[in-house]
Amino acid sequence: MKKISLLGATGSIGTQTLDVIRANQDSMKLVAMSIGQNIGLGEQMIREFKPKLVSVLSKDARDELFPVLPPETKVVFGEEGLIEVATHPDANLLLNSVVGSVGLKPTLAAIECSKTIAIANKETLVTAGHIVMKAAAEKGVSILPVDSEHSAIFQCLNGEKKSEIAKIILTASGGSFRDKMRDELKNVTVAEALDHPNWSMGAKLTVDSATMMNKGLEVIEAHWLFQLPYSQIDVILHRESVIHSMVEFKDTSVIAQLGTPDMKIPIQYALTYPDRLELPRTKRLNLSEIGSLHFAEIDYERYRCLKMAFQAGKIGGTMPAVLNAANEEAVAAFLSNHISFLEIETLVEKAMERHVTINDPPLEAILDADNETRNAVKKLIQ
């Protein structure tokens, strides 16, 4: 039985994870979960899945939720609450689908308690991949990818030798503005940015997809998950999001993983690995219906966030945490209409320029870099 702690239950990945658990109650059980501010949806979920422990964003939210819940549900809050959910003694697997670098500490705490990690929260590996992977290796804990590209590569690598990989190739849809020239991006709106051509996802990730910072975060995530240098990680534009990523081997052979753009596929695979279960309500891939698949080279001047992410990854140390923190603040400011779309990349660039990298940083140095960067970016926005 998979006994699951779920962080970010009310989000896009969280709700789809609960769909998978609901359909597989004979082999999966929700033990603990966290929500943010969506108390209404959280309450419905608690009534349906009856987790023993729930974490909410704030003490006020806990006080609002606590009286309406069954007495056997324990409600906690804040950063400590996320850690309590991630380390619940009855759980054997953490699915981390909270958004942002707030996901890092709970992941590390769960590894310490020897839980299997199904990781959707890409910011965990972007900010502290070296610490997370080392801790997981020491504890003998598996880190199973949920992100569609990383799940694809994980599936392509099944049984293959790492020494025989030439490169991994992440596919990128190009996001909401892929058919616009760079100077057409000056006045784009939040609503336009949130209109992703292929995937339905949370707001932050949908904007990241439009700037291609998402692909940049995924490049860094792949570097840590598959322990490959950046010279062996490539990105290609692929409009349809049908090929979720590929691996090219030394002998030029390429293995790709395909499927309809439905996150329930990689979520369920992470929860059932190494087995595969039926996924009844997901549309089967019909290539003759799709007709043709398209590919194009990335223009790194058009997608400067992707270029900066490669730079941050290669610099290493605290720089990826700075890239990520600046991006989180800038995207939040764009979503609340305080800055324009193109200012996102300008703010990330300024944050990277002002930062003096600390190599092989301990966790405290990463958290400091994250915090300092957020303050600096907030000042630039005022």
Ligand X SMILES: CC(=O)[C@@H](O)[C@H](O)COP(=O)(O)O
Residues between 28 and 57 that touch ligand NDP (CB under 6 A):
34-38, 57
Q: Is 122 annotated as a binding residue?
A: yes
Sheet containing strand 143-145, edge to edge, reads 74-77, 53-56, 28-34, 2-7, 93-96, 116-119, 143-145
Q: Residue 118: helix, strand or coil by DSSP? A: strand
Q: Is 149 annotated as a binding residue?
A: yes
Q: Which of 8, 106, 175, 361: binder of ligand X (CB under 6 A)?
A: 175
Q: How far is the CB of 180 from ligand X (least distance, A)?
A: 14
Q: How far apart are CA 328 and CA 342, in angstroms?
A: 14
- Of the candidate spans 126-134, 208-216, 220-228, 248-256, the one that interacts with ligand X by CB under 6 A turns out to be 208-216
- Using a 10 angstrom Cβ sphere, with 0-12 exposed, 13-18 middle and 19 or more buried, the burial of residue 93 is buried
Residue 247 β-bridge partners: 168, 255
Query: Taking CA 344 as the corner, what is the angle to CA 78 and CA 174, rounded to the nearest 5 degrees?
Result: 100
Q: How far is the CB of 377 from Mn ion (least distance, A)?
A: 24
Strand locations in 92-229 (E):
93-96, 116-119, 143-145, 165-172
Q: How far is the CB of 147 from Mn ion (least distance, A)?
A: 4
Q: Which of 4, 6, 8, 117: binder of ligand NDP (CB under 6 A)?
A: 8
Backbone angles phi, psi at 49, to 5 degrees: -95, -15
Q: Evaluate whether 88 touches 67 at the Cβ level (below 8 Å).
A: no
Q: Which does 175 bind (CB under 5 to 8 A by kind): Mn ion, ligand X, ligand NDP, none?
A: ligand X
Residues in the chain: 382
DSSP 296: B
Site membership for Mn ion, residue 221 (CB under 5 A): no
Q: Evaluate whether 103 touches 121 at the Cβ level (below 8 Å).
A: yes
Site membership for Mn ion, residue 262 (CB under 5 A): no
Q: How far apart are CA 372 and CA 367, in angstroms?
A: 9
Residue number, 208 or 370, with CB nearest to Mn ion: 208
Q: How far is the CB of 251 from ligand NDP (least distance, A)?
A: 31
Site membership for ligand X, residue 239 (CB under 6 A): no
Q: Prior bond to 274 cis, omega within 30?
A: yes
Residues between 117 and 176 that touch Mn ion (CB under 5 A):
147-149
User: Cα dist. 136→63, 114, 125, 167, 376 in Å?
Assistant: 36, 8, 12, 24, 32
Per-residue contact flags (x/-) with ligand NDP for residues 88 to 117, judged by CB under 6 A: ---------xxxx-x---------------
Q: Is 299 annotated as a binding residue?
A: no
Site membership for ligand X, residue 147 (CB under 6 A): yes
Q: How far is the CB of 200 from ligand NDP (least distance, A)?
A: 7
Q: Which of 148, 155, 324, 373: binder of ligand X (CB under 6 A)?
A: 148
Q: How far apart are CA 221 and CA 232, in angstroms?
A: 13
- List, as residue ranges, the binding site: 10-13, 36, 38, 121-123, 147-149, 173, 196, 202, 209, 214-215, 218
- List, as residue ranges, the binding site for 1-deoxy-D-xylulose 5-phosphate: 122, 148-149, 173, 196, 209, 214-215, 218
Q: Which residues bind ligand X (CB under 6 A)?
A: 147-149, 172-173, 175, 199, 205, 209, 214-215, 263
- List, as residue ranges, the binding site for NADPH: 10-13, 36, 38, 121, 123, 202
Q: Which residues bind ligand NDP (CB under 6 A)?
A: 8-14, 34-38, 57, 97-100, 102, 120-123, 147, 199, 201-202, 204-205, 263
